[in-house]
Amino acid sequence: MADAASRLKSLVEQLLGAPLPVRIRAWDGSQAGPPDAPALVVRNRRAVRRLLWKPGELGLARAWVAGDLDIEGDLYAALDLMAELVWERGEDARGLVQMLRDPEVRAAARGLVRIAGLPLPPAPPREEVRRARHLHTKRTDQRAISHHYDVGNDFYEIVLGPSMVYSCAYWPAPDATLEQAQHDKLELVCRKLGLTKGQRLLDVGCGWGSMAVHAAREHGVRVVGITLSHEQAAYARKRVAEEGLTDRVEIRVQDYRDVADGPYDAISSIGMAEHVGADRYLEYAETLRRLLRPGGRLLNHQIARRPQRDESAYDVDEFIDAYVFPDGELAPLGTTVTQLERAGFEVRDVESLREHYGLTLRRWVANLEAQWPRAARLAGPGRARVWRLYMAASALAFEHNRIGVNQVLAVRTPKDGGAGMPLRARTWGPHPS
């Protein structure tokens, strides 16, 4: 086909009823669209077939992961320009049916079919997870965690850097190092928990052991770290041994519902609660409260979505659910606080770190891009492409206030009401043992 780019641009604009803000570069070498804009590279006709068979975000994601689509130029700028057309249109099945009643839209769709050819739909990339959704049994949670975290520790070392912390850092300044910002985040958590020497800390979703090692080394506490990822646990145990902390840190492959050796003086849950699920969240909160001694503190660090007018209509992000966090669910901050209070916690402080996560994600993307050939070799090209798109799009979501991240400090307040908290907010001193 001569000048496939111009034809694609014209048909897509006709279909969407809006001009394309990005350039198109097609498989025949042709280009169309704003010359200074980032380019959406359509490598083959299969990319068009993917979008026709699955219009919207999931079709785009499949084409991206398979390498049928790419972006040339500034990835963040391209995603920003495309957001309104793709992620913010909110078209459901009924909306698409309404669109197809328009003769011009039907004509555009037929034109795209002629360009793409329409045999059977292309198979989804092998990185896609399809299963019954949001059961959150111990077995399905184990599978979901394995999909996301058992990608290979070497791959995560590239993305996360030496700190090996996979959650929002706490930046003293935008030009600080990622390692300094992650150290400051771990220290912030320890100060909010008021850790003192000899106390017991449970780190739920301990990842590669960074929080456990920091708390034991810097604050002299005894730590039990739990994860469902065997690869994470092996890595964390090695770090603990190298730090000479095996007498103070134990790493377990264990579900939080199976922990039975409380009470603990403090619990940290950093970037884990997103995996719990709405139907299980009260159980999660009640379980952690039972594991705390009276007066013990919980620090819950969790991503939040913005609430909707009609919460019953909320659905998960198709790309993230299929490729990144199977069974992951985000809740509004107010819902999380309410569930913690329903479980019997007293919520004492809430701090938003939204801007900090945008900075963190951009550093992770830069780390990945700087070692792209090695990362793609370790995790596979498709999986590396998943992580690049996911992290870049998430950075923009935090920066534009589409999602947030919050640290919620809660206490299992004793019956006498003495929570052991400082009189002035955020002067996080130690609490009595």
Residue 80 Ramachandran class (φ > 0 left, ψ -120 to 50 alpha, else beta): alpha
Specify the pLDDT at position 92: 45
- Set out the domains of the chain in order of their start, with CATH numbers: 4-116 (no CATH), 138-411 (3.40.50.150)
CA 306-142-87 angle, to 5 degrees, is 30
Say what the pLDDT of residue 423 is.
84
More confident residue, 427 or 265: 265
pLDDT per position as a tens digit, 252-309: 999 999 999 999 999 999 999 999 988 999 999 999 999 999 999 999 999 999 998 8
Which region among 252-256, 321-325, 337-341, 393-397 has the lowest average model confidence (pLDDT)?
A: 321-325
Q: What percent of the chain has pLDDT over 70?
A: 86
Tell me if residue 300 falls in helix, strand or coil.
strand
pLDDT tens string 169-196: 999 999 999 999 999 999 999 999 999 9
Would you state the pLDDT for residue 253?
A: 96
pLDDT in tens, 406-415: 999 999 999 9
C-alpha 56/C-alpha 76 separation (Å) is 19
Q: With bands split at pLDDT 50, 70 and 90, how would you rate the model's confidence at 148?
A: low
The reported pLDDT for the residue numbered 358 is 98
C-alpha 219/C-alpha 241 separation (Å) is 17
Query: In which band, very low, low, confident or very high, does the pLDDT at 311 lie, cut at 50, 70 and 90?
Result: confident
Which residues is 71 bridged to in the sheet? 40
pLDDT above 50 for 91: no
Per-residue pLDDT of 105-127, as tens digits, reads: 666 667 777 777 766 678 888 88
Alpha helices in 248-401 (DSSP H): 281-291, 318-319, 333-342, 354-370, 372-379, 381-399
Q: For residue 225, name the pLDDT band (cuts at 50, 70, 90).
A: very high
205 has a pLDDT exceeding 60: yes
pLDDT of residue 52: 81
pLDDT band of 143, cuts 50, 70, 90: low
Give strand pairing partners of 227.
253
**136 vs 97: which has the higher pLDDT:** 136
The residue among 187, 205, 147 whose CA lies nearest residue 326 is: 147
**Residue 387 binned pLDDT confidence (cut-offs 50, 70, 90):** very high
pLDDT by residue (tens digit) across 288-300? Answer: 999 999 999 999 9
Per-residue model confidence (pLDDT) at position 83? 82
pLDDT at 352: 97
What's the pTM?
Answer: 0.90
Residue 427, class by beta-carbon neighbours within 10 Å (0-12 exposed, 13-18 middle, 19+ buried)? exposed
Average pLDDT over residues 395-411: 97
Q: Residue 390: CB partners within 8 Å, gap ≥ 6? A: 319, 320, 323, 324
Question: Using CA atoms, how far apart are residues 273 and 329, in angstroms rounded to an integer?
Answer: 9
Q: What is the pLDDT of residue 380?
A: 92
> In the predicted model, is pLDDT for residue 66 greater than 90?
yes
Q: In the predicted model, is pLDDT for residue 90 greater than 80?
A: no
Has residue 98 got a pLDDT over 60? no
Answer yes or no: are the C-beta atoms of 1 and 28 closer than 8 Å: yes
Q: Where are the beta strands (DSSP E) in 2-76?
A: 23-25, 31-32, 39-42, 69-72
Kind of pairing between the strands at 31-32 and 346-352: unpaired
Cβ count near 45 (within 10 Å): 17
* Average pLDDT over the chain, rounded to an integer: 88
Contact of 254 with 285, CB cutoff 8 Å:
no
Q: What average pLDDT score do residues 59-73 get? A: 93
Decide: 235 and 152 in contact? Cβ < 8 Å: no
How large is the average pLDDT for residues 64-92? 81
pLDDT of residue 94: 43
How many Cβ atoms are within 10 Å of 17's Cβ, its own excluded?
A: 12
> Is the CB of residue 382 less than 8 Å from the CB of residue 126?
yes
What mean pLDDT do residues 348-357 have? Answer: 97
Collapsing DSSP to helix, strand or coil, 123 comes out as coil
Q: What contacts 256, CB < 8 A, 6 or more positions away?
A: 204, 205, 226, 272, 284, 287, 288
